Chains A and B, each alone.
Chain A
Amino acid sequence: MTEELLEVRLRVNGVAHDLRVPARRLLSDALRHDLGLTGTHVGCEHGVCGACTVLADGRPVRACLMFAVSAVGLELTTVEGLADVDGTLSNVQQAFAECHGLQCGFCTPGFLTTITAGLRDNPQPTHDEARDMIAGNLCRCTGYQNIVKAVERAAELGAGETS
């Protein structure tokens, strides 16, 4: 039996892509394999690690827990969509660089997307809120201290812009 392919239009980082995929294609795989957007990482593939987190209509979701066919009509943002078109890092990316918020970088795309949305909802988090913001993402390298610092630094950078 050849598997039926479905026509799917995904909007990713402001660009529409038309693909033909089987219904079972996970959004994480569609992004990586069909669109070549390998910034979205896949760790556990069952929702626990957070490496695959992307934004759907601005809200963080696990790309490994969604099918590409179910993502039709959503405005998706991956880590590739966070920096400016000219390559200028976003505040969150800049803060990660300054605070040494990554080592191997495997978990980083999921942290960056999650924190980007988190700071939009709560631009000045307390230390506890900064910790809570990243509680759903796993990192095996950093020990989290510098990631929490990066959340706080990104908030600082954001406050500098608006004041």
Chain B
Amino acid sequence: MKPAPFAYVRPGSLADALSALAGDPGAKVLAGGQSLVPLLSMRLAAPSTLVDINGLPGLDAVTVTADGVRVGALARHADVLAHDEAARVQPLLRLALSHVAHATIRNRGTTVGSIVHADAAAEMPVVLTLLGGSVEVAGPSGTRTIPATDLYVGPLETCLAQDEIATTAFFPALAPGARVAFAEIARRHGDYALVGAAALVDGDSVRVGYVSVGDVPTVVDLTGVPLNEMAATALAQLDPADDIHATAAYRAQLVRVLTERVVTEARTDD
């Protein structure tokens, strides 16, 4: 299990990183490597160049304002998880991040990397989508902001071009009076979820995002639906599938259990 050969560059500026990507159509960004390196070792991916962005200045910041939390591309999951201000302004970040892999993986893996890796079994893409967040992207012709709702186009696929770098992700603050909850079922703590659910309740509005039930992160609007019918409404829009970890029927059952659990929790005053 060894990666195929590749050229390696570790640029010191964003401009150099962008030109390295533009200079080779087979080039790929290397951030924390916690998803990419296994893919390389298993030879499921064989980029001709790796552009290691770990030397780029200024991208490791987690910036919190009243509007929300901005996470730089080099902020590790562990940095975001430990950030008390971030947890206060948007509590769903900490609730969900504590389920992302194990502490050792979180020390290296980046939250932005996870968002653009676009695994429907990952927590943070769903969180970003549920909260209506966005990703800031730099490319050869400047920067653009991509709303999470436009970001995910297919399994493990975003609308980022090969020569673009995600520089930050923005998670909006929790509105006053709004509440969130997160729960997931995994075989072992730290494993990818068999199913996960995140709820955002704001007055009458009820929305739930689902992990691992479909090809892309999916958020369902359950506003106005009675609690005991929510799971059925959600399942009509979800696509639980069979794999070696769980059957589709079991996943559907977990959707039933977790939908009720997270909505009830988000509605309960603590």
Residues of B within 8 A of A (CB): 1-8, 10, 30, 33-34, 37-38, 40-42, 50, 52, 54, 78, 101-105, 107-108, 188-190
**Contact A136 to B7, CB < 8 A, known contacts A24-B2, A46-B38, A66-B37:** no
* B108 & A66 in contact (Cβ 8 Å cutoff): yes
| Minimal beta-carbon separation of A146 from chain B (angstroms) | 19
**CB-CB contacts below 8 Å: A26-66 with B:** 26, 29, 45-47, 50, 53, 56, 59-62, 64-66
Q: In the docked arrangement, what's the CA distance between A140 and B99, Å?
A: 24
**Contact A47 to B105, CB < 8 A, known contacts A23-B50, A66-B33, A70-B33:** yes
Q: Which of A56, A60, A65, A69 contacts B38 (CB 8 A)?
A: A65
8 A-B contacts (beta carbon < 8 Å): A22-B5, A23-B5, A62-B104, A66-B37, A67-B33, A70-B33, A132-B189, A135-B102
Q: Which of B41, B52, B103, B104 contacts A70 (CB 8 A)?
A: B52
Q: Which residues of B contact A132 (CB under 8 A)?
A: 189
* A136 & B103 in contact (Cβ 8 Å cutoff): yes
* B1 & A4 in contact (Cβ 8 Å cutoff): no
Give per-residue flags for A132-146: 1 if the beta carbon is below 8 A from chain B beta carbons, else 0.
110110000000000
6 further contact pairs, Cβ within 8 A, besides A62-B34, A67-B8, A136-B104: A6-B8, A61-B108, A65-B38, A66-B37, A66-B108, A133-B103
**Contact A135 to B8, CB < 8 A, known contacts A46-B42, A65-B33, A65-B108:** no
Q: Which of B6, B52, B104, B188 contacts A53 (CB 8 A)?
A: B104
Kindly state the interface size class of chain A when it binds its partner: 20 to 34
Considering the complex, give the chain B residue whose CB is closest to the CB of A1: B5
Q: Which residues of A contact B104 (CB under 8 A)?
A: 50, 53, 60-62, 114, 136
| Minimal beta-carbon separation of A161 from chain B (angstroms) | 25
* B3 & A24 in contact (Cβ 8 Å cutoff): yes
Q: In the docked arrangement, what's the CA distance between A132 and B102, Å?
A: 9
* A135 & B37 in contact (Cβ 8 Å cutoff): no
Q: Which residues of B contact A53 (CB under 8 A)?
A: 104
Q: Which residues of B contact A86 (CB under 8 A)?
A: none
A3 at the interface (CB under 8 A from B): yes
Q: Which residues of B contact A24 (CB under 8 A)?
A: 2-6, 40
Q: Which residues of B contact A69 (CB under 8 A)?
A: 8, 10, 52
Q: In the docked arrangement, what's the CA distance between A135 and B189, Å?
A: 7
Q: In the docked arrangement, what's the CA distance between A152 and B3, Å?
A: 39
| Minimal beta-carbon separation of B188 from chain A (angstroms) | 7
Q: Which residues of A contact B10 (CB under 8 A)?
A: 69-70
Q: Which residues of A contact B38 (CB under 8 A)?
A: 46-47, 65
Q: Which residues of B contact A118 (CB under 8 A)?
A: 103
* B8 & A23 in contact (Cβ 8 Å cutoff): yes
Q: Which residues of A contact B4 (CB under 8 A)?
A: 24
**CB-CB contacts below 8 Å: A63-122 with B:** 64-67, 69-70, 114, 118
Considering the complex, give the chain A residue whose CB is closest to the CB of B9: A23
Q: Which residues of B contact A70 (CB under 8 A)?
A: 10, 30, 33, 52, 54
| Pairs of residues from A and B, 7 with the lowest C-beta to C-beta distance, nearest first | A136-B102, A23-B8, A46-B38, A24-B3, A60-B104, A65-B37, A59-B107
* B190 & A135 in contact (Cβ 8 Å cutoff): yes
Q: Which residues of B contact A65 (CB under 8 A)?
A: 33-34, 37-38, 105, 108
**Contact A60 to B8, CB < 8 A, known contacts A24-B3, A65-B34, A66-B33:** no
Q: Which of B5, B30, B189 contacts A3 (CB 8 A)?
A: B5
* A26 & B2 in contact (Cβ 8 Å cutoff): yes
